[in-house]
Amino acid sequence: MSQPITTNPVLIALINMTVVFCVLYGLSLVVRLIKVIDPTQKKVAQEETNVAEKAVSTVAPVSLQQEEYDEMIILFTAAIAAYGYSGARVVAIRPVSNITWSQAARMETVNFRNQMR
């Protein structure tokens, strides 16, 4: 019993790597199962929609000259058409202030930290 079964280092490395990857796969399954069972998942989704609704409602209108506005619509329409949505039509463009982006980044960080708990 004191003798090893194999002395081939390649075989030993292969067995060890197989065990490690099997354990990692098992842990990934546990994480997926926790995401399915997690009762707080629905609350987080509702909070995210509330944050998105608030972000949309805080859009600050910016006054542009009509020529600049028309030029922006033409550019955005061309970009959307180049992306593959030829039937799309840009009706209005409303810029979002930088405050909204920083608030969204903060909320994303808070949500990420809450998910890590």
Most confident of 14-23, 34-43, 44-53, 68-77: 14-23
Q: What is the DSSP letter of 58?
A: T
Q: Are residues 31 and 47 located together in one domain of the fold?
A: no
Q: Which domain holds residue 19?
A: 1-37
On whether both 50 and 101 belong to a single domain, the answer is yes
pLDDT of 102: 79
d(CA 83, CA 103): 29
Residue 56, amino acid:
V
Q: What is the pLDDT of residue 17?
A: 97
pLDDT tens digits for 64-115?
A: 677 877 787 788 888 888 888 777 776 766 766 667 777 888 888 888 888 8
Give the confidence band of 51 by pLDDT, cuts at 50, 70, 90: low
Q: Give me the helices (H) in 1-117, please.
A: 9-37, 41-57, 66-83, 98-116
